[in-house]
Structure 1
């Protein structure tokens, strides 16, 4: 089976989870995703990750071997962006 591209992994996540911002980098084996979704409001990190795994479903087991992710709510994303802007 061909390894998925970062764009495909991004599409897989977007298909199963409404995202405000979604960025995926990777080499076909290991991926790193930054995922911003209102669905993460009030959820601890483990539940956020489970939500992403649920969106990926079977593909997580069959095609994607390693996925690291940063899961943020829109408010957390805005705060992180504002903090980053303040350090320039």
Structure 2
């Protein structure tokens, strides 16, 4: 998946979400992505629960298309 496809997939699955995805810099393969997701859907959730929402949004792609995901999540207020 391209970073753009990952963004679109996350944004389609999480309410009022803005996702920014880029290839991780360094000695990584192309399937290492750095992702920031901002959504009011994260309000009141633990960090683990927030990350689970993103992983659920990506579904099967997490095991087939995305090898590693550096993930930052926050609410719009943060």
Tell me the TM-score normalised to structure 2 length.
0.85
Consecutive aligned runs of 4 or more in structure 1 exceeding 3 Å deviation: none
Gaps in structure 2 of 5+ consecutive residues = 25-29
Higher gyration radius (CA): 1
**SS of the residue 1:39 aligns to:** helix
| C-alpha RMSD of matched pairs (Å) | 1.3
Partner of 1:14: 11
What is the count of residue pairs matched by the alignment?
Answer: 73
Gaps in structure 1 of 5+ consecutive residues = 77-88
- Structure with greater proportional helix content: 1
Tell me the TM-score normalised to structure 1 length.
0.76
Kindly state the Cα deviation for residue 17 of structure 1 after the two structures are TM-superposed.
Answer: 1.1
